[in-house]
Amino acid sequence: MPISRNQTLGFRKSHAFVIGINEYRGLDANLKTAAGDSREIAKRLKALQGFDNVLLMNDVSQAQVATLLDWIKDPQRSASLSIQEKTFTFGSFSYRSQAHWLKTAGEVADTAGLNSLELVIDEGQADELRETLFLAPDNQLDIQPGDSIVFYYAGHGFPGEIKDGPAGYLAATDATNKLLDNDSLLPMDEVYKALSTLDCKHTLLILDCCFAGKFRFSSLSRGRPKPFLMPMYERRYERFKSSNAWQVLVSAGPEQTANDSAKWAAIRDHSPFATTLMEALEGKADVPLAGNRGKAQGDGIITATELFLYVWDRVEKITGEVKPQHPGLFPMAQHREGEFIFINPKIDSKRFKFAEDPDKNPYKGLAPYETADAPVFFGRERVVQEVVARLRQEDADILFITGPSGSGKSSLAKAGVFPVLKEYEVFLSVRPSELLPANSAPSAPHTDKLESLQGELASGKRCALLIDQYEELFSHPDKEQLQELVMHLITAVQENQQRAIFTMRSDFEWQLKSSPLGEYWEKKRIYRVPPMDLDELRQAITGPAWWAMYDFRDKEETDEGDTGEELINEILEEVANAPGALPLLSFTMKAFYEIAKDKSRKQRLILEDYRHALQGVSGALSQRAGGLYDGLPNEAHRRAMKNILLRMATLDDGGYSRRRIFLSYPDLPGLNELDFPGDQDDRFAEEVLRQMEAAHLVAQGQDNKGHRYVEPVHDALINFWPKCRQWID
């Protein structure tokens, strides 16, 4: 039985227009699966998803498609829609188009004389679903703004350029092969204009054709994170239902061709895209709730994003070895904060399994991300994929992840890499100093912690071991003993064919090379974390907010069309070129989120609050620096902080900016710009510098000549912390 789609989701009616074209005699390029794909999609929309009106049009002409689009665009449209069938003849060969409305037995008074389609889904003897759908020539329907619509097309697609809208063309069965001014093709823009006339709250366009990605409004993708799975809180579900959702799901990128060839058809009855879409509509795209790893049950709700991610993953695996194909999901101009929704037909819609709403700050501030924080870890997708690819190589037993201070190495491993390595059963993490016992150094080279880790590595389960912040070993008083303990761990990793990951600051690479671990220091075992580009920083800004259902707004007044682009760009401009941009960004956003929550901003991050209440990055840094300064134990330490910052300030073009302070020169041993006259002052300076680095007010690095340096993370620390400006002036 069909699900109660309208009652559940709050629509007046739900409609679907499904087109599939196999016959292209005028192009001499017939397809094998498009018509069959459309039939199966139409059956599932009707029988499984509960759409009221489903029109199936196979092998139809441009004029027949135009009849449908003209009816849609006509504000005075009649209540009845019938598409006349037509016969096409090419020499001795002829075929007939099909245009029928799918009806259940309960919707047809008399089934005599009506052709039918059978939907059979066999998932085991006890779970077989079988339903007969009848094909009616006409239908009474009325489409209103409170309805939902699916428009599906499978056939040939061609590239093209149409200004200020979607580019590209669709082809009806009577398309001809002309090079220029091909008026036998249907511009994608015409489909969009027709759907826009209806102005329904929820509209999903699905294109399974070559160059389907040409149907893209690129300007609408800014300010939004890439599609990702979000926990379905009940309030998120209500927003998705009530707000406009205008989305396009395409089978291939703007320059890609879709797979529907004789070779594919010989082993499959449907295209890769249609195959996975059919599975998705049967409920297989209903992914498990976040945190329910290994569970088969989802929440019962299939959003357009879930649908896309399921289809993308399956299609990539199916097509990867021959002709990789990458589906896409894009917003249309009318899209706001909604999501087109399907329902898992296997779940009672009255018993959706909503996620628990944590109501917590999604930004970590200066704390590293842990494995449990994976859902709010954004901006490192590319890097995670590269690291995981390294670890999955056969000889990748040891991998060194290095990068400057503040580049997010620990977070990358724990919240990025570990959750993706699903083939591993056990994830272990230890810092070098944790290998020593709490009381004193033992005489034997074994400790309880070491033996525990060795036992896990030898358990027979697949393990990944993280040795985090390895640089702390080189300044530890028990350095030699720690190195011995680490080498015991490496032996256990290799003997049991496990994986070990080291994270370490890049300015300590030279010390590792000359240590016992140096024998493993080779190119294939080294991954240097690159800086985040603007798109990745944008993801790190917007992703956690979207996860927590907070929106960016340039104005305080509620407006769904306001996506906060000015606010996002202003944050980007302030952090983009700063050393240690990631902790600076996370710290700023955590403080910004707290302001929005304290001011009861109805889950909105507003530009005015960023500028005036937080005072941007400079305000966040000032609060951090002031808190550190006031918390120093005595006047000597406070004087040391003053002296450090004064040496880090320089006059540049009439204004002050930060400068690097060099701590060591390989060619000039003993030279240090933070060397003060007295030994006591040097000790205070070292202690304060460590605290400033721990607070992410300064960051250490190494230039290409091997010179170690430290510098403020942002010019704002010099220019906008009032106490620092007072010292300078």
Secondary structure of 310-340 in HEC code, one letter for each residue: HHHHHHHHHHCCCCCCCCEEEECCCCCCCCC
Is residue 170 predicted with pLDDT exceeding 60?
A: yes
Q: What angle do CA 620, 625, 630 make, to 5 degrees?
A: 130
Q: What is the pLDDT of residue 263?
A: 45
Most confident of 12-26, 80-94, 218-232, 557-571: 12-26
Q: What is the pLDDT of residue 163?
A: 46
More confident residue, 566 or 654: 566
Q: How many residues belong to the chain?
A: 729
Report the mean per-residue pLDDT for the chain: 86
Is residue 324 predicted with pLDDT exceeding 80?
A: no
Residue 171 neighbours by CB distance under 10 Å: 25
Is 465 a domain residue?
A: yes
Name the nearest CA neighbour of 476 among 463, 489, 488, 485: 485
Same domain assignment for residues 333 and 451:
no
Q: How confident is the model at residue 659 (pLDDT cuts 50, 70, 90)?
A: confident
Whether the CA torsion 197, 203, 208, 210 is positive or negative: it is: positive
Name the nearest CA neighbour of 692 among 621, 636, 634, 635: 621
| pTM of the model as a whole | 0.76
Same domain assignment for residues 188 and 41:
yes
Is 395 a domain residue?
A: yes
Last residue of a domain, one of 528, 547, 573: 528
* E strand or H helix that includes residue 426: strand 426-430
Q: What is the pLDDT of residue 262?
A: 42
Q: How confident is the model at residue 441 (pLDDT cuts 50, 70, 90)?
A: very low
How many domains, in total, are found in the chain? 4
Last residue of a domain, one of 614, 630, 658: 614
Is 462 a domain residue?
A: yes
Q: How confident is the model at residue 694 (pLDDT cuts 50, 70, 90)?
A: confident
Q: What is the mean pLDDT of residues 355-378?
A: 87
Is 375 a domain residue?
A: no
Which of 36-50, 249-263, 707-721 bottoms out in mean pLDDT, i.e. has the lowest? 249-263
- 26-63 pLDDT, tens digit each: 888 899 999 999 999 999 999 999 999 999 999 999 99
Q: What is the mean pLDDT of residues 521-548?
A: 93
Same domain assignment for residues 523 and 539:
no
For residue 331, give its domain range.
5-351
Same domain assignment for residues 207 and 342:
yes
- Please say whether the beta carbons of 337 and 304 come within 8 A: no
Name the nearest CA neighbour of 699 among 380, 408, 381, 383: 408
* E strand or H helix that includes residue 302: strand 301-303
Q: How far are the Cα atoms of 218, 571, 604 from residue 564, in angstroms, in the given order?
A: 17, 11, 10
Most confident of 256-260, 359-363, 630-634: 630-634
- Please say whether the beta carbons of 220 and 559 come within 8 A: no
- 567-592 pLDDT, tens digit each: 999 999 988 877 778 888 988 999 99
Q: What is the pLDDT of residue 709?
A: 85
Tell me whether strands 649-652 and 202-208 are parallel, antiparallel or unpaired: unpaired
Name the nearest CA neighbour of 410 among 501, 472, 522, 276: 501
Q: What is the pLDDT of residue 556?
A: 86
More confident residue, 678 or 563: 563
* E strand or H helix that includes residue 512: helix 509-513
| DSSP single-letter state for residue 208 | E
Same domain assignment for residues 213 and 69:
yes
Same domain assignment for residues 102 and 128:
yes
- 609-624 pLDDT, tens digit each: 999 999 998 888 888 8
- 406-437 pLDDT, tens digit each: 889 999 999 999 999 989 999 999 999 888 87
Structure tokens at 297: 């049950």
- Please say whether the beta carbons of 418 and 464 come within 8 A: yes
Is residue 260 predicted with pLDDT exceeding 60?
A: no
More confident residue, 252 or 653: 252
Tell me whether strands 341-343 and 301-303 are parallel, antiparallel or unpaired: antiparallel
Is 182 a domain residue?
A: yes
Query: CA 543 to CA 590: how far, in whole Å?
Result: 13
Same domain assignment for residues 33 and 100:
yes
- Please say whether the beta carbons of 102 and 43 come within 8 A: yes
Q: What is the pLDDT of residue 463?
A: 95
Q: How confident is the model at residue 440 (pLDDT cuts 50, 70, 90)?
A: very low
Residue 85 neighbours by CB distance under 10 Å: 15
DSSP letters for 32-80:
SSHHHHHHHHHHHHHHTT--SEEEEEES--HHHHHHHHHHHH-TT--SE
Q: What is the mean pLDDT of residues 277-305?
A: 78
Q: What is the pLDDT of residue 265?
A: 47
Same domain assignment for residues 407 and 298:
no
- Please say whether the beta carbons of 238 and 301 come within 8 A: no
Is 346 a domain residue?
A: yes
Q: What is the pLDDT of residue 40?
A: 97
More confident residue, 116 or 439: 116
Query: CA 136 to CA 124: how far, in whole Å?
Result: 32
Is 357 a domain residue?
A: no
Query: CA 171 to CA 181: how far, in whole Å?
Result: 14
- 182-238 pLDDT, tens digit each: 688 888 889 999 999 999 999 999 999 876 656 664 334 434 555 667 788 898 999
Crossing angle for the helix pair 534-547 and 381-391, nearest 10 degrees?
100
Structure tokens at 500: 């070990």
Same domain assignment for residues 208 and 309:
yes
Q: What is the pLDDT of residue 570?
A: 95
Same domain assignment for residues 332 and 188:
yes
Query: CA 332 to CA 447: how far, in whole Å?
Result: 60
Is 206 a domain residue?
A: yes
Query: Which CATH number belongs to the domain containing residue 715 in this structure?
Result: 1.10.10
Longest dimension (CA), the chain: 104
Q: What is the dihedral of CA 176, 180, 186, 189, to 10 degrees?
A: 170
| DSSP single-letter state for residue 445 | S
Query: Which CATH number belongs to the domain containing residue 80 in this structure?
Result: 3.40.50.1460
* E strand or H helix that includes residue 698: strand 698-702
Which of 77-81, 168-172, 656-660 bottoms out in mean pLDDT, i.e. has the lowest? 656-660
Same domain assignment for residues 396 and 481:
yes
Q: How confident is the model at residue 358 (pLDDT cuts 50, 70, 90)?
A: confident
DSSP letters for 92-155:
TEEEE-EEEEEE-GGG-S--TT--EEEEEE-SSGGG-EEEEEEEES-EE----TT-EEEEEEES
Which of 18-22, 64-68, 289-293, 531-535 bottoms out in mean pLDDT, i.e. has the lowest? 289-293
Last residue of a domain, one of 308, 330, 351: 351
Same domain assignment for residues 154 and 202:
yes
